Structure formats: structure tokens, C-alpha cells
Structure 1
């Protein structure tokens, strides 16, 4: 009887979820398109027509919030949030399926909490307006809509399993909730237990493989529930505040520009050109991977997007040339570390935002460190690689003119981005909007491979991807707010300042590198930056470090952790894209990681590498 009821409910939820996620997917794509047009128009009106659109930034921020929640709702409905089994392998096999399925209930509970909290926020802001007179409801309504769709999608996926697993995993979550409630009810001041329960939820979420955004969101939500002095509406309010910033629009815009350059065929042309140029040398295919990753880092802004773009093109050539796929995956992951500071990197944008550092200055500061690491990695790729037969890798070759055209179109966009940042012509967000227009229009004219259907799908997919990425930022901001209330950053700051003053500033720097490698492996770049950058950057400045130099070291250390075995989340993704198992990648990767680590330490010990170029540019 229960099984029939489950099947009937699942069928109804599946049809409803398919309809709702289709609507949010199209809505997200449309919002992204309109936002690109609004930001581009605001620049034209300001610089060309000398008549600024006063409402443009607030409208763009409101659409940014809609983009995030429509995107994350779409991904949740499609099952796009995947936990990483970092610690699940240590759980007995008989228990593991129940622990894995419990993470689906966590997604549902976080979505329920966001729905309830955002409904309260909507009621509070119903009659409020923004500074330019726009109704506040346009920013809050998409949060409620996205949370409801996310809740229904999470419920469908929670019920998609054998009845025994569904019930027992749900009962396990319910038991934890009851135990937490009992602990609170037995305490004279429940607020004192809020922080402890928050940290327990965070640890359990990491161990159970709950997606990082929902681990962060669950931890913050539990704190707001347990502390009676804070209204629960603060939960959604802080989540919204985490992405209600114009500067963060650069992230989806750069992702979109990179996707446009990939879909119009530039990536395949560029990689083939590099293979044909470097293939005659020893380690030519490995060197191609390093150079291609560096090139696409200047386009997409996201390291995982770079690996997906280059790996999808280059791995077939690796297999055709009968090269070791595990070695190739190791080079991909190590090259991602090398290219962490090549603008327009997502983490550089996030760091500038949370630490109040000029994003343009960070873009410039990352160039020479990236060049140094690139040279070291090319030497390693040449030393540890072998020669290939180019005709095996590419049995059918394109004319060289096509290949050079693809490379020149991409280089022109990188030049436009770099020139705009260095000259201060526009903000990084405005430049990224023009990069999208350039990639779509010029790419279409140059290659004629970016069809209308492909363009529509690209906007929809990037909207969903941006929602997932920025939802991590939103939940990390909410947790960061909670940590600030608990005075935890201040306590850490006092400890680190005392270490720096007693043991020396360089000991503080090396300790920071170790901390960020560890947390970068578990938390990914954005949440780790949001939590640690506001703490560490002021301390570094107090101890005499240049914030640009320290920021670049932070980015590189977290990138090293993200792609390091056995915990690095980025390495798991790299292995999945390359079609290999991580256990087979660790040994060939060690030598490349040691080269990367040597370069990072060198950059940390010689601040001039990071500060010389920004100084010339006037920063």
C-alpha cells in the first residue's frame, strides 16, 4: 500500500517538478539575457550619451537575486547538486546508502526553511521601496518562488528510492532533530547551544557528502532556529544579502562569455592549433594542456569550467594518441592550480568583494605569479612527458587559417578585458557584460556555429550553473554572519595576531597557507574566501603585508587544496570529466603538485612578484 502511494506521489511530483523547473530554467535564462542588456546599456548611456540610467544598478542587482534562485531551483529539480564522497568510504557499506540518502532530506529541509523565512521576509518588505523607488518585492518574490520550486524538487528526489531507504534515512534525520530539540529544551539559555549545534551540523554535512551550499545553509539555519533572540527571517535576509551585490554579476557574465567562445568552436580550434604547434616537442600534449588551461582561464573565469571546456576537447586526442589518461588528468588538475590567478578568475572577484580590495588591481597582480607558475609547469610537462604523433591525435586537421582565426578572436577578447581593467574604463561587471556581447556577436559572425537554438540553451544552462555557484556564496555569507555574531572571527584574529607578533610575520604567512590548503580542499574557493578573507587580510596588513600580495597567496593556496588528493573537490570533478579514477591519478600527480607548491612558496616569499605590475599601473 505504501509503495503504491509512494509511486502515485512521485508521479505527481515528477510532472509538477518538470513543469516548474522548465519555467524557472527559461526564467533564469531570460533574466540573464536582460541583465546583460541592462548593464551594457547603462555603460553606453553613461559614457557615450552622458546620461546615466539611475535605476540600472538596482534593477541589475534585483535580477541577480532572481538569477540565483531561479538557477538553483532549476538545478535542484534536475538533481544537479551532487555531494562529494570524501568521507563516505569510511562508513560501513551496509549503512552508507542510508547516509547518502539522508543528504537528500537535508536539501529538502533547507529548502523548507528558506521558503518559510523568505515568506516572512516578503511580508516585511511588501510596502518598502529601494533608494530609486523600485518596489523591494521585486528582489524578494524570486527568492520565495525559487525556494518553493527547490523544495518540491528536493522532495521528489528524496522520495526516489526504495521505501526502506526513504523511511529509515528520514527517521535518522528526524531523530537528530529530536535530539537537538531535547538538548535545547533542557537548557536554561538555549542560545548558548546554538553555536555548538551549528558546528555539529556542519561536520555531519561534510561527512555525509551533503552539497557544500546546503551544508553551509543548514548550519546557518540551525543557528537561527536555536537562537530565540534572532528572528528566523534573518536566515533568508542574510542569504539574499550574500548575492545582492553588483560586482558579483561579473561571475555569471564571464561564465557566459566563456561558454559562448566554447560553443562557437573557438576552443576546439585553439586546442588543435596548440597541439600542432607543441606536439613536435617532448611532452607536447602535456604542454598543450597547460597552455590551453591558461588561455581559457582568461575567458571563462571558472577553473571547473576551464577543465570541462579543455578536457572535453583534449581528452579524445589524448586517447587517440595512446597517451596515459591518468597522467593527462593529473596535468589538468595541476594546471588548474597554476591558472588560479589568471583574470577573470571567479575567486579574484569574490576576494575583492569580501576583502574590499580593488578587483582590477587583483586582476593585474595575478598576472606575473601566473606566468611564473606557468613556466614551472611547462618545464615539468616537458620533463615528464613524451613525444606524440600529431596525426594520431588529429587524423583530420583543419586549415591553419581557421585555427589562427579562432585564436585571434579569443585573444582579442582577453585584450579587451585586460585593457578595460588596467585603464579603469569600466568596472569588472561592465567589462564582463561587453565580453558577453563580443563573444556572442563576433563569435557568430566569425564562425557561424553559434545558432539561435544553441544560444538559448547556453543562456539557460549558464543561468542554472550560476545559480548553483552563487548559492554557495549566498549560504557562505549567511554562515559568515552567524560566525561574526559569535565573535569567532575576532577570536581567531587575536590568536593569529599574537602568533605573528611573537613568532614573526612570515610564520603567520606560512600558517595561513597551510590553513587555506586544508579548508580550500573541503569548502571550495568562494565559501572559504568569504569566511577567512575578512579575518586574514586585515591581520596581514597589520603585520606589514601588501593586501594584493597576500590575496594572491590566499587564492593560490586554496586552489592547491581544491585540486589536491585525497580530499580536493576540484580533483574529483577533474577525474569525472577525464573519465578516470582518482586513486590512479594520485601517483602521477604528485610531481606536478610539488612543482606547484614550490612556485606558491616562492611567490609567498617574494612579494614583488605580485606587487610590481600593480604598482606600475598606479595601484
Structure 2
């Protein structure tokens, strides 16, 4: 699945007359393709080795009672390599996540220049990472880890990935008409010169760091710069502006953002979910649900809701879920002559509902940054998700239309095949759930088992996961993981810069004052509003990384249970992510469903209202969230 929005395609895949001569651009393009193939293969290999390492460490510890003490350090080093090889691959392919909504308000003759300026931003941030990571490599050459491994294994992938990103970003930047390339470059140069001049005439340049950082963030969002690079540019500018901080801190903080064993659960769950999709389980499951629900009014919409809930318990990524279910179900929607725009709205609303169904990526990120038990969050999200599921099923039934199953599926599979597909997926979900609830292993270790199960059992059960398909699967998931986790890495770097400026502390003081002066519930309402807004313009992970460490301690101080508050945060962020007119997730959903967002807004409003009512009920009734975790002993 490609996590591409409209702006990504303009940034990364434009086929126009290049500024350089044909020979020059051909050499650069050939070099970029060659390096991208290397990082794609290296990323896939690193992902495979990491699955083997984590799986083996669990077997050695539980079965052989001889833990591999080096396994976690190696897994973390491989994690950093996976992220930077993956993001380098995605940069070469032009597959970063960005928002182009604001570009539509620009005059048509201005828009191409602003779009092209985004390519130069990618190039500049990549250059900054190369310079900073080179110094980081030099500093790490003579250092070792706790188990005696060379420290350089953690930082070499940062430098290599950044170099490939520079080549790929430059190739994309030069592949355009001379006038567009030159004028967009001049515009960027003027902005840089203005910032430099401002700093040069100041006695204390560090005092302007926060203002310039915020300006870069706002301009990046408005210009449609991919989110990861908007965050990276903002953090990079901060480190440049503050002479008291070595520039090596920039790449150090980016790498530190993904140097955590728990985050390995994200690529592993993505891989397990994709394996189940490739081996044909998704098509079997969706057809089974359609044949079961098709006799009811709104059967296809109800199928969407149920299928999204089912797949959310496998992949962990809502965009991956939309791609998996949408790619299978939308052809049936069109064959049954149903409204494609309304179907896209149901997909987006169902993704909001599924935000708290484990193993959701954002629950893992929230638990990591807010120091909340990930297992407890997984359990706490079940009942709220079930409540939203019931509300959406009722709405889908009430607003939907009847269909003919024979129109949706002219050729029906044998029922045994469909039941087998559902059973294989259900066993995987139960395995994940049982492992989390019983505390048998960590979420990362369980995700490694899920990968092995999906690959081995899926291959035996269906026989559709060939060796070629498996290799492609690892390559694609390595690239996707790089995109998602590079956002986490850059968000962590920006969060570090915000902390240095004590901005979180100032926000915390203001919110505490509001909470004690006007009541804790006003604080909760403000939290929902803040996360809806930032969830719309950012991908979910950076919004949580920036705000969760600030808001969760305040919520606890005001008397909220951290599990309840955390689930409300994730739901609010998901609502913003898939809401019109800015929601990044809605852009991707519309692209997958083959519809325009402007046509989706009206039929989607009723489902948005249903989800918002559900979120308010969950927020106002904490028992819905905390009852099951308390029952389970958390």
C-alpha cells in the first residue's frame, strides 16, 4: 500500500522537461535509481533479519531459558537502519505524506512554483542530515555499547540513508522546467537570506529560534511539504539558530526518536497485516461478510465497518486497513451500483472507529511517549471501539440501501474457502490479544510471532504467498515503515527543540490553570479540540509525540485516569486525521476509493456526527474505557 496523497505525486513523480541537459539528468536519474534499489533491498533484508532476531530471542528466553543478551541492542540498531534505508527508498520513489489542501487556494500560475519549492526543502533537510550525521559518525567511531558492540552501527545507517536522500531529492528537484526550478530555488534562497539577516543583526540569535521554528512549521504545512520534512526542517532551523547547541544534535535526536525496541512493533504489525492481505485472506473475509450482511439494508456499508474492525486487529495502521479493505470492496460497491462517495465516507468514519482497536500504531506510540502500559491501552481501547462500531452499524443500516449480492459478486467462492480465510485471521487476532492480556510477551515480541504466523500459516493455508511476492512484501513494508517512522523520528527531534525552549512547560502551566479555574472537563474539551486540529494537519504519531508528554501528566493531576485520557486523545486525533477538509487520512482514503474529497464531504457528514457523539460519550463516561482494564488487573 502506498501512503501517498495528491501532493506526494506532484513532488515525487513529475515527468517534465528537466533543467539539466538530457545526459546530466540521465546520469543523476540512473544513480538515484541504483541507490534506491540498494536501499530497498537493504531495508527488506534488515527487516527480515530483525524479525528473525526478535523471534529467536523469544524462543531462546522462554523455551531454552537462555536469553540472548545482545538481541535487543542488535534489534535497535537494525531498527535505525530500517528507518533510514526505508525513508531513502521512499524519497527515491516519491512516497512521502503531505497535504495539498492549502495549495488549491493559490492562483494556478503560482501553484507549480510552490509545489516545486517543496522539492528543494526535501533536498535541504537531507543535506542537513548528511552534515549532522557525518559529525555523529565521527563522534561514535571509538565508542561501544553496553554489550561491547561498536556504537557506530547505530549511526552509519543515518549517514548512508541521508546521502541517498540527497541524490534522490536533487534528481526530483531538477526534473522540471528551467523557469520553475530557478524561480522556486530563488524564492527559497530569499527566505533563507531573510532568516540569516535577522539572526546576524541580533545580539542573541537563540532568542529567535522558536519564532523561526514555528514559521518554518506553518509555511511547510501551507506549502504542502511532506510532514516528516516539515517537522525536520523546523527542528533543523532551531539547531542552526541556537549556537549553544552543536548541529550534531539534529541527527542525534532524529536517530534517538526511533532507537527504541518497543517501536519495532510498528513495522512488524504492518508486515503481518500485509502478509495476510497478500495471501488472499482479505478478499475471502470481505466476500464472506458481504454474503452475510448483504441481505440487510445498507449491507455494503455495514460490511465496510465490520471489515475495518477486523483488519484493525491485524495490521495496526489505519491507512493500511483502508487500502486493504478499500482495494477489495470498492469494485463490489461499483458493481452493485452503490454511491462511491458515501462508501468513501464510511471507510473514513470506520477508520476513526478503529483507532483504538489493538494493535493500533498510535496506541503503541502513545504508550511509548507517555509511559503508559501498551497492553493496558490495547485492552482499554476495546470497549470504546465496540461502542463506536455499534453506532456506525446502526447508521450504516439506517442510511444505506439494499444490494443484490449477485451484482456485487457475480462469481462466488466456495464457502469453505471463505470460512478458512476468516478462521486464519481470527486465530491471529486471538493470538495477539491473548499474548497482550496474559503478559506472555511484549508487544514487539508478539508482533514478531504474528509475522511468522502470517507468513508460514498463510502460505500453508492459501498457497498464494509465493517467494517473489514475499520478497516484494518485505521491500514495500520496509519502505512504508521508513516513511511512518521517519515522521516519528523528526517529530521527536522537534519535540526536543520545543522542550529546550520550555514551550511544553508554558502550555502545561496555562492548561493547569484553566483546569483548576474552570474545571477539569473544560481541559478535556480543549484537549479534544487541539488534537482534532493537529490530527488533521499532522499524521497521528507526531501529534501524539508532541502533545502526549504535555497533556497526560496534566490530566492525571486533574484527576483523569491515564488510560481513559489516552484513549480519548487517540480517538480525537483519529477524528481529525480522517475529517474534511484538511484530514490527511481522508485524502488517502479518497485516493484509494477513486473519488474526489469535495464530493465525499456531504454524504460523510452524518457518519462524522455519529462518530463525534460516540467520542463525546466515551470522554464523558470514563467507565467505558477503564472497566475492562480494571477487570483484567491493570
Could you tell me the TM-score, scaled by structure 2's length?
0.97
In the alignment, does 2:342 pair up with 1:327? yes
Instruction: Give the CA deviation at 1:7.
Output: 2.6
Of residues 470, 482, 490, the one that matches 2:485 is 470
- Contact kept in structure 1, 2:19 and 2:178, CA below 8 Å: no
In the alignment, does 2:130 pair up with 1:120? no
Q: Distance in 2 between matches of 1:12 and 1:249?
A: 36
CA 1:4–1:489: 2 relative to 1, 3 Å: closer
What's 1:163 paired with? 178
Q: Distance in 2 between matches of 1:516 and 1:574?
A: 20
In the alignment, does 2:221 pair up with 1:206? yes
In the alignment, does 2:302 pair up with 1:302? no
What's 1:568 paired with? 583
User: Equivalent residue of 1:300, what SS?
Assistant: coil
What's 1:293 paired with? 308
In the alignment, does 2:390 pair up with 1:360? no
In the alignment, does 2:608 pair up with 1:593? yes
Q: Distance in 2 between matches of 1:12 and 1:121?
A: 30
Correspondence list, 1:23-422, <5 A:
23-422=38-437
* 1:233-289 C-alpha deviation (Å, 9 max, x unpaired): 000000000000000000000000000000000000000000000000000000000
Q: Distance in 2 between matches of 1:587 and 1:5?
A: 46
What's 2:439 paired with? 424
* 1:523-550 C-alpha deviation (Å, 9 max, x unpaired): 1210000000000000000000000000
What's 2:9 paired with? none
User: Equivalent residue of 2:257, what SS?
Assistant: helix
What's 2:512 paired with? 497
Correspondence list, 1:453-532, <5 A:
453-532=468-547
User: Equivalent residue of 2:141, what SS?
Assistant: coil
Q: Distance in 2 between matches of 1:445 and 1:418?
A: 23
Instruction: Give the CA deviation at 1:366.
Output: 0.3
In the alignment, does 2:22 pair up with 1:7? yes
- Contact kept in structure 1, 2:82 and 2:482, CA below 8 Å: yes
Uncovered stretches (5+) of structure 2, i.e. residues with no partner: 1-16
- Contact kept in structure 2, 1:6 and 1:159, CA below 8 Å: no
Instruction: Give the CA deviation at 1:134.
Output: 0.6
Q: Distance in 1 between matches of 2:555 and 2:537?
A: 23
What's 1:543 paired with? 558
Q: Distance in 1 between matches of 2:140 and 2:25?
A: 35
Uncovered stretches (5+) of structure 1, i.e. residues with no partner: none
Instruction: Give the CA deviation at 1:3.
Output: 7.0
CA 1:20–1:605: 2 relative to 1, 3 Å: same
Instruction: Give the CA deviation at 1:6.
Output: 3.5
- Contact kept in structure 1, 2:98 and 2:584, CA below 8 Å: no
In the alignment, does 2:594 pair up with 1:584? no
CA 1:598–1:82: 2 relative to 1, 3 Å: closer
* 1:456-509 C-alpha deviation (Å, 9 max, x unpaired): 000000000000000000000000000000000000000000000010001111
Instruction: Give the CA deviation at 1:8.
Output: 2.5
Of residues 526, 543, 549, the one that matches 1:534 is 549
Could you tell me the TM-score, scaled by structure 1's length?
0.99
Q: Distance in 1 between matches of 2:577 and 2:350?
A: 12
Instruction: Give the CA deviation at 1:82.
Output: 4.7
- Contact kept in structure 1, 2:99 and 2:537, CA below 8 Å: no
- Contact kept in structure 1, 2:19 and 2:177, CA below 8 Å: no
Instruction: Give the CA deviation at 1:4.
Output: 7.7
- Contact kept in structure 2, 1:26 and 1:460, CA below 8 Å: yes
User: Equivalent residue of 2:459, what SS?
Assistant: helix
